[in-house]
Structure 1
């Protein structure tokens, strides 16, 4: 599994209805994309528990082939054409779990990025993060949760989809406008090593 996200921060007075319409008309295009486990179309709105307006979709890919096909294909080129080329963050998957509400349509998501301190052994940090991921996967209303790591910057990523407003977990909270899940079974269950 590979996690990928780009964040498009928009002006404070930007009409987020434009993003909502974009997702409503184009979101279905990823519903059958090969190699894609899940794509969550995420937004944050300034003043709604966020300091910024932002479009920040997060993808969970089964492998690099699907991710590469998207990045070099027409879908991402449309993002580049309309918003400029965003920095694409990506993490190596460590674990994926479906929650108690796996078939529910998610309404919100949380994303928590945390550094692995230089004084902490990577295996210890990943072990503790895996326990936290298991806790999140069992939480009421959890649709699915993923844990990933960027070993270049030693950063852990927890990403959870919820069937209700996002709980006050650490990190950013997003509204989910649409969820494409063409191949979630290819993400595997549990830890990925």
Structure 2
């Protein structure tokens, strides 16, 4: 499993209904993308859930590298770059994936949090904690799914979770889910990824 996200930060007065309409028009194009576990079409709106910015920030969990590369180099990503400019694409190596206790509920909210892996930390303990946190998130009321991943260039752990509604203890950035493409979500490997 491989995690990926990019963020298109938009002007403070940008009409976010333009993004909503774009996703309503084009979101279905990845509903059957080979190699894609899931893509959550995410939006943060300035002043909502504490967001300081307007932002379109899709998050992906890829089942295969071929699927991800096909998207990045085969035209899917080009459409976004043409519309919003080419953003930096963050990538993380997957550590864990869990289906949530409400896995069949519609995902309406996403939460992303990240923490650095401190210098001198025992790596097996740090990633073990991240795996356990993914399991804890997935067990929360309203959890649709949860994942943990690591960026070894920045030594940063990321937790990503989808929810039926804003969780009571949302720690991190809260996003509205505009659409969920999940063609191979059920095929994502569960639990620890090594």
Partner SS for 2:165: coil
Q: Normalised by the size of structure 1, how large is the TM-score?
A: 0.98
Alpha-carbon contact 1:109-1:166 (below 8 Å) kept: no
Residues 149-160 of structure 1: pairs in structure 2 closer than 5 A: 149-160=150-161
Match of 1:91 in 2: 92
Partner SS for 2:46: coil
- Deviation of the 1:127 alpha carbon: 1.1
Gaps in structure 1 of 5+ consecutive residues: none
Alpha-carbon contact 2:141-2:167 (below 8 Å) kept: no
Match of 1:180 in 2: 181
Partner SS for 1:120: coil
Match of 1:170 in 2: 171
Alpha-carbon contact 2:142-2:167 (below 8 Å) kept: no
Distance 1:173 1:167, change over 3 A: farther
- Deviation of the 1:63 alpha carbon: 1.6
- Deviation of the 1:165 alpha carbon: 2.1
Counterpart Cα distance in 1 of 2:57 and 2:36: 17
Gaps in structure 2 of 5+ consecutive residues: none
- Deviation of the 1:133 alpha carbon: 1.3
Partner SS for 1:85: coil
Match of 2:71 in 1: 70
Match of 1:81 in 2: 82
Residues 123-142 of structure 1: pairs in structure 2 closer than 5 A: 123-142=124-143
Alpha-carbon contact 2:36-2:184 (below 8 Å) kept: yes
- Deviation of the 1:31 alpha carbon: 0.2
Counterpart Cα distance in 1 of 2:140 and 2:87: 33
Residues 124-173 of structure 1, C-alpha deviations (whole Å, 9 max, x = no match): 11111111111111001000000111111111010000001244322100
Partner SS for 1:106: coil
Q: Normalised by the size of structure 2, how large is the TM-score?
A: 0.97
Counterpart Cα distance in 1 of 2:27 and 2:169: 27
Counterpart Cα distance in 2 of 1:185 and 1:128: 24
Counterpart Cα distance in 1 of 2:186 and 2:145: 12
Match of 1:53 in 2: 54
- Aligned-pair Cα RMSD in Å: 0.9
Residues 2-21 of structure 1: pairs in structure 2 closer than 5 A: 2-21=2-21
Residues 82-132 of structure 1, C-alpha deviations (whole Å, 9 max, x = no match): 111100000000110001111111110100011100021111111111111
Match of 1:43 in 2: 43
Counterpart Cα distance in 1 of 2:64 and 2:121: 29
Counterpart Cα distance in 2 of 1:92 and 1:119: 20
